[in-house]
Structure 1
Amino acid sequence: MADETKKPSAIWETIKTVVYALIVAGIFRTLFFQPFWIPSGSMKDTLLIGDFLFVNKMAYGYSYASCPSIRIASVGINIDAADICGFLDGDNTRFWGGEPKQGDIIVFRHPVNGTDFIKRVVGMPGDTVQMKDGVLHLNDVPVGLEDAGNFEEVFEAQGPLRSRPRCENGVVGEGASCLKSRQIETLPNGESHAILNITNQRSDNTGVFTVPEGHYFFMGDNRDNSTDSRFPPQVRGVGFVPYENLIGRADRLIFSSAGRSMLFFWTWRADRFFKALE
């Protein structure tokens, strides 16, 4: 009899433990760090497909976008951050807000569809931004550029999406070397980082964008393969990103997987453990 009495109690204690653990994990993710796995090549070679990192949510304070979105398509769960913390939305402000600096790598919510993106902020409020012949111009002044050889990778299916890279050296076969020109770009505040070039295309020459107050202009480091602020959000870009849509800053990789899943530990890249981001 004693055993039968204890059994329901043990089950209930287990349920409570799981619930408490989920609550603690939810609070941790909302307030401190959010995991992020890089799904595309728009930030190569700074970030590779399969890189895993934690986003520092304390860097810029908190807004409705700090709440996690919970999307599990296989079981029909689609809970957006705005559904949880929508009462904080609409004023483009943040609690304990901190300003990003030019060159920060930031995860943010897409202004229209709410998807999480990761890009580099290049244009600050009030700046003018323009691309001329593939060179970024800020306030009508070209950024500093220095040639840095080629970025080389294998032409093969990458990550869970099995996407193949675009190559500057033309159409190459499976397993061949895929090359992109690499340069070091230096922003007006002295921040430097690598950018890649694949080809000459329309996004290498744009009109002049004037960044509104309370908004930011983002670009990917893989300039010819990035959906970013050069394109309007209603089409295939992100446009200007409001301050309240910032989620957090990416500072350091935890590890990186070259396979279809981050659980495939035998595909982890040994040279990217705890790598600082620039």
Structure 2
Amino acid sequence: MEFDFSAILLALTVLFGVVWGLDRLFLYKRRKARLDAAGEEYRDPAPVDWSRSLFPVVLVVLLLRSFVAEPFRIPSGSMMPTLDVGDFILVNKFAYGLRMPAFNNKFVELGEPKRGDVVVFRFPGYLCQDGGRLVRSGDMSCSDPQAPVQQQNWIKRVVGLPGDSIEVHGADLLVNGQRVNAEEIGPYVGNPQRSVDQIMLNMGATVWTEHLGKVSHMIARMPAYTTPNSIPNDRVPSKVPPGCYLVMGDNRNDSLDSRWWGCLPEQNLAGKAFLIWMSWKGWGTGGVDFSRIGTVIH
């Protein structure tokens, strides 16, 4: 997402509220008296009429998106097979506390992420060296450590909580010294007409059931595609620092996650994904996938 829709909603709410409020406080009575004296039918000026009509609508949308549930669309295959490209999901915005719209400052504590949660968050940026210190950059190559980080929402699964010791070596994930168990289900089955499926089919992807704490969920492995970074590495320590979480995509060989850019700061959390409400596979490659609608996200 290249723009902050919450910030736009907040700005519109303030704008419409200020225009409507100032008019009612300072202009409405004089204007009405003037029109009544002239025997003309009262009518608000167009900007005031639009503000009066749109303010409650935009306010309700802002409150629902900020504090109840917000829709997102899955743009990439990093969470396959759990979440497919074209899935439209709902995100619980109060699962991890109430936050101010646009600013994302938490003002009510309601809970913290658990191991295995699928979380939506504002991408924190890539870890880069800049004058002997680690900084967050929008440049993946780190050629420009001061490059601004784009305001984008990403989605991954929590594998490490603050204080955990996490190790990742290829397909092996260890949490606090214990290997996370997984059983193979079989080869990945997809539509070769879709490019994301074609990659997985060509690379011999297999589907597994992984048991991450109390959560059992599916992951995909395709070692022929790429070898992901291990943890620990020169930028990501094995011990998760306070106020941070390690996150990974379920498509383990095709996910740009904490193995590359480090821990996810708590203040970047947007909410917990909980439901697929629509799934669109594209024209000529499946259309609406009714089998996925209503799927609870684990």
Fold in common (TM above 0.5): yes
Task: Identify if the C-alpha distance between structure 1 residues 214 and 206 changes in structure 2 by more than 3 Å, giving closer, same or farther.
Answer: closer
Q: Secondary structure at the match of 2:187?
A: strand
Report the equivalent of 1:269.
Answer: 289
Of 254, 268, 275, the match for 1:225:
254
Distance between the aligned counterparts of 2:188 and 2:118, measured in 1? 20
Residue type of the alignment partner of 2:200:
C
The yes-or-no answer on 1:167 pairing with 2:204 is no
Task: Identify if the C-alpha distance between structure 1 residues 226 and 133 changes in structure 2 by more than 3 Å, giving closer, same or farther.
Answer: closer
Distance between the aligned counterparts of 1:167 and 1:101, measured in 2? 29
Describe the superposition over 1:13-70 as per-residue Cα deviations: whole angstroms up to 9, x where unpaired: 4552223211211121111111101000000010001111111011110235xx2xxx
* TM-superposed deviation, 1:267: 1.7
Residue type of the alignment partner of 2:72:
F
The answer (yes or no) to whether the contact 1:168–1:198 under 8 Å persists in 2 is: no
* TM-superposed deviation, 1:153: 1.1
The yes-or-no answer on 1:213 pairing with 2:212 is no
The answer (yes or no) to whether the contact 2:208–2:219 under 8 Å persists in 1 is: yes
Report the equivalent of 1:196.
Answer: 220
Report the equivalent of 2:192.
Answer: 155
Describe the superposition over 1:174-197 as per-residue Cα deviations: whole angstroms up to 9, x where unpaired: xxxxx520111112x231111101
Q: How do 1:61-140 residues align onto structure 2 when only pairs under 5 Å count?
A: 61-64=97-100, 67=101, 81=102, 85=103, 88=105, 95-112=108-125, 113=149, 114-140=151-177
Greater than 4 Å deviation, 4+ residue runs? 4-15
The answer (yes or no) to whether the contact 1:168–1:199 under 8 Å persists in 2 is: no
Report the equivalent of 2:90.
Answer: 54
The yes-or-no answer on 1:255 pairing with 2:292 is no
Residue type of the alignment partner of 1:53:
I
Report the equivalent of 1:181.
Answer: 206
The answer for unaligned runs of 5 or more in structure 1 is 68-80, 171-178, 233-238
Describe the superposition over 1:133-182 as per-residue Cα deviations: whole angstroms up to 9, x where unpaired: 31111122210111111221123346xxxx66522544xxxxxxxx5201
* TM-superposed deviation, 1:132: 2.1
Residue type of the alignment partner of 1:186:
H
> Could you tell me the percent identity over the aligned residues?
32
* TM-superposed deviation, 1:202: 3.0
The answer for unaligned runs of 5 or more in structure 2 is 1-35, 126-148
Structure of greater Rg? 2
Distance between the aligned counterparts of 2:178 and 2:254, measured in 1? 24
Q: Secondary structure at the match of 2:267?
A: helix
Distance between the aligned counterparts of 2:95 and 2:117, measured in 1? 11
Distance between the aligned counterparts of 1:6 and 1:210, measured in 2? 71
C-alpha RMSD over aligned residues: 2.8
Which structure has more RCO (C-alpha within 8 Å, separation ≥ 6)?
A: 1
Residue type of the alignment partner of 1:202:
T
Report the equivalent of 1:236.
Answer: none
Q: TM-score, normalized by length of structure 1? A: 0.74
The yes-or-no answer on 1:33 pairing with 2:83 is no
Distance between the aligned counterparts of 1:22 and 1:182, measured in 2? 43
The answer (yes or no) to whether the contact 1:134–1:204 under 8 Å persists in 2 is: no
Task: Identify if the C-alpha distance between structure 1 residues 5 and 55 changes in structure 2 by more than 3 Å, giving closer, same or farther.
Answer: farther
The yes-or-no answer on 1:246 pairing with 2:269 is yes
